[in-house]
Amino acid sequence: MHFLAGSVEGGDGAPFSALDPIGGAELQPVYREASKDQVDRACVAAAAAADPFAATPPATRAALLRDIADGLQGLGDALVERVQAETALPAARVEGERARTIMQLNQFADLVEDGSWVDARIDHADPDRQPMPKPDLRRMHLPLGPVAVFGASNFPLAYSVAGGDTAPALAAGCPVIVKGHPAHPGTSEMVGGVIQAAVAKNGLPAGTFSLLHGRLHETGEALVSHEAVKAVGFTGSHGGGRALCDIAAARREPIPVFAEMGSANPVVVLPNALRQRGAAVAAQLAASALLAQGQFCTSPGMVVWLDGEGSEAFSATLREQLTGAAPGPAVHPSIRQGYERAMAELTTLPVELSAAADRAVNSSDVCPALLQATPQAFLQNARLRTEIYGPAVLAVVCEDAAQLQQVLAALDGHLTATVHGDGADFVEHAAAVAALRSRAGRLIANGVPTGVEVSSAMVHGGPYPAASDARFSAVGVTSILRWVRPACWQDWPQDQLPVELQDDNPRGISRLVNGEPG
């Protein structure tokens, strides 16, 4: 069912069902594609809700977020079982993802109550300034308006209906229209019901939240094209994210699309680390690449090192760990198909392929693989520099530091980059580190990129094509900044100003007054 501005609706659009990722059987119930009329009514309702929702007290928005968090917990095992049925993810992973989703919601509730996130700035007037008087200027963040959120396939909770786009948008005071991912409509429906109930409980406008089901590109296009929508959140493929960016840019009123579109997440192993602990680094890297069959946007899909002592042990361990790993299921058939298509493309290029023995138990399984390319092939073939979504790692062995620098200079933007180094490695190869720093949102030393901490210091984004706007993070409380805009009040009466900008600071938030904290 669709949750449309407080109502629950079916529809007469094209039918579709979630698929059991293991056996491929259709799961009940059958869902219907959202119609253009339903998309329009959800957007119109969100526009009507925008101003009253933005004007709600912070305590009300915090209560909404906490009620959603409590509702997700209250779904109990039924939610875990539905996620498993639609994605084949293990129960422990689903429970961990639900805990993360709940934590995000509660973090944003705390942020809203604190209030300092509005970044209030006050510059007092100076009527005696020469040659021109200085006006009184006050600035803070305001919500953009209705936000369209596209659910992600690989994180059915943390990046979907109540996930990392929806939570900060609601916290900022933006109504949200979610297009649920067609791979897990049952999960989306359960979570959407929780949000709709929380909206009603807190007396908020019905258009504060809608959930629409759909698998057709036309449904997403209609949503992004609607004049009521003021911003878009997306986590998924580069093709999907770029298509939404192009649609949004072509509107009469262009709007921002904050798209996180994947990454090869390069790993560089420097000489001392290679010599002293190469086999251990290779085992750690392989474990990270195999986690959840490589179905993380931060999965390490590329490793580069300088040939030398330890190179053979590193390469042998990496090959053994990857090719000896058991195949496992993709969360839905399109990911498996995409992985197989990518592997077929790469095998037409000058690469050496070492794949796991075909021990697939189910037709949905993906087989881990190690590919190796020369630096020359890497530089000459752009496809080798892009993401392989799944449990595959591309290895590039360089002859010297100059060749390493050429390889790193050819990289596009990535969500993460990892450097393993010991002793003087970081100093002696500072140019390599600098090259990675300019091409990644998060730079990791002697670790793995999988595991994205939800904190205020996290950056989950990066230069294009990892993300559509490198200035923002899709994870952590700073992700709220995607859904706001700065606004300024000049020479306004005190009693007509937002409370955050009034001189007596009734909320007691952190502010800058005449350039000083106050």
Contacts of 479 (CB under 8 A, 6+ apart): 164, 165, 168, 460, 472, 473
How does pLDDT run across 398-444, given as a tens digit for each residue?
999 999 999 999 999 999 999 999 999 999 999 999 999 999 999 99
How does pLDDT run across 29-53, given as a tens digit for each residue?
999 999 999 999 999 999 999 999 9
pLDDT value of residue 23:
83
Three-class secondary structure of residue 221 per DSSP: helix
Considering only residues 334 and 148, tell me which one the structure prediction assigns the higher pLDDT.
Answer: 148
* Cα separation, 137 vs 25, whole angstroms: 62
pTM, to two decimals: 0.95
CB contact at 8 A, 130 and 57:
no
Q: E strands within 185-325?
A: 209-212, 231-235, 257-260, 266-269, 302-306
Domain chopping of the chain, boundaries: 2-261+469-484, 266-445
Structure tokens at 50: 């925008």
CB contact at 8 A, 54 and 173:
yes
pLDDT higher than threshold 90 for residue 510: yes
Of 25, 64, 70, 56, nearest in space to 143 by CA: 56
* Cα separation, 431 vs 194, whole angstroms: 50
> Mean pLDDT over all residues of the chain?
96
pLDDT value of residue 363:
72
Classify 97 in phi/psi space as left (phi over 0), alpha (psi -120 to 50) or beta: alpha
Contacts of 418 (CB under 8 A, 6+ apart): 265, 266, 267, 268, 300, 443, 444, 445, 447, 448, 449
pLDDT value of residue 361:
62
* Cα separation, 100 vs 78, whole angstroms: 18
Structure tokens at 153: 């396939």
Task: State percent of the chain over pLDDT 90.
Answer: 93
How does pLDDT run across 152-173, given as a tens digit for each residue?
999 999 999 999 999 999 999 9
Q: Is the dihedral of CA 91, 96, 100, 103 positive or negative?
A: positive
Read off the pLDDT of each residue in 360-373 and give the average, rounded to a whole number. 85
Contacts of 239 (CB under 8 A, 6+ apart): none
The residue with tokens 């009521």 is 228
pLDDT value of residue 518:
84
pLDDT higher than threshold 90 for residue 198: yes
CB contact at 8 A, 147 and 118:
no
Three-class secondary structure of residue 106 per DSSP: helix
Q: Judge if the upstream peptide bond of residue 375 is cis by omega within 30 degrees of 0.
A: no
User: How many residues are given for the chain?
Assistant: 518
Cα dihedral 68, 69, 74, 76 in deg (nearest 10): 120
First to last CA, the chain: 50
Residue 358's pLDDT band, with cuts at 50, 70 and 90, is low
pLDDT value of residue 53:
98
pLDDT higher than threshold 60 for residue 360: no
CATH fold of the domain at 2-261+469-484:
Aldehyde Dehydrogenase; Chain A, domain 1 (3.40.605)
Three-class secondary structure of residue 442 per DSSP: strand
What are the Cα distances from residue 135, in Å, to 388, 475, 496?
Answer: 55, 38, 16
Residue 110's pLDDT band, with cuts at 50, 70 and 90, is very high
pLDDT value of residue 134:
97
- Which own/partner contact pairs does 117-122 have at CB distance under 8 Å and 24+ positions apart? 117/141, 117/477, 117/480, 118/500, 118/509, 119/486, 120/500, 120/501, 120/509, 120/511, 120/512, 121/511, 121/512, 121/513, 122/501, 122/503, 122/511, 122/512, 122/513, 122/514
Burial of 10 (0-12, 13-18, 19+ CB in 10 A): exposed
Structure tokens at 158: 């943390």
Of 308, 451, 253, 255, nearest in space to 244 by CA: 255
pLDDT higher than threshold 60 for residue 240: yes
pLDDT value of residue 101:
98
Of 292, 361, 288, 388, nearest in space to 331 by CA: 292
pLDDT higher than threshold 80 for residue 359: no
* Cα separation, 115 vs 52, whole angstroms: 18
How does pLDDT run across 434-462, given as a tens digit for each residue?
999 999 999 999 999 999 999 999 999 99
pLDDT value of residue 333:
85
Phi and psi for 236 in degrees, rounded to 5? 170, -150
Of 300, 306, 315, 301, nearest in space to 270 by CA: 306
How does pLDDT run across 131-147, given as a tens digit for each residue?
999 999 999 999 999 99
Residue 364's pLDDT band, with cuts at 50, 70 and 90, is confident
CATH fold of the domain at 266-445:
Aldehyde Dehydrogenase; Chain A, domain 2 (3.40.309)
CB contact at 8 A, 299 and 450:
yes
pLDDT higher than threshold 90 for residue 357: no
Of 380, 427, 445, 368, nearest in space to 407 by CA: 380
pLDDT value of residue 355:
78
| Residues acting as catalytic residues | 260, 297
How does pLDDT run across 249-303, given as a tens digit for each residue?
999 999 999 999 989 999 999 999 999 999 999 999 999 999 999 999 999 999 9
Report which residue type is found at 501.
Answer: L
When mean pLDDT is compared across 17-26, 85-94, 392-401, the lowest value belongs to: 17-26
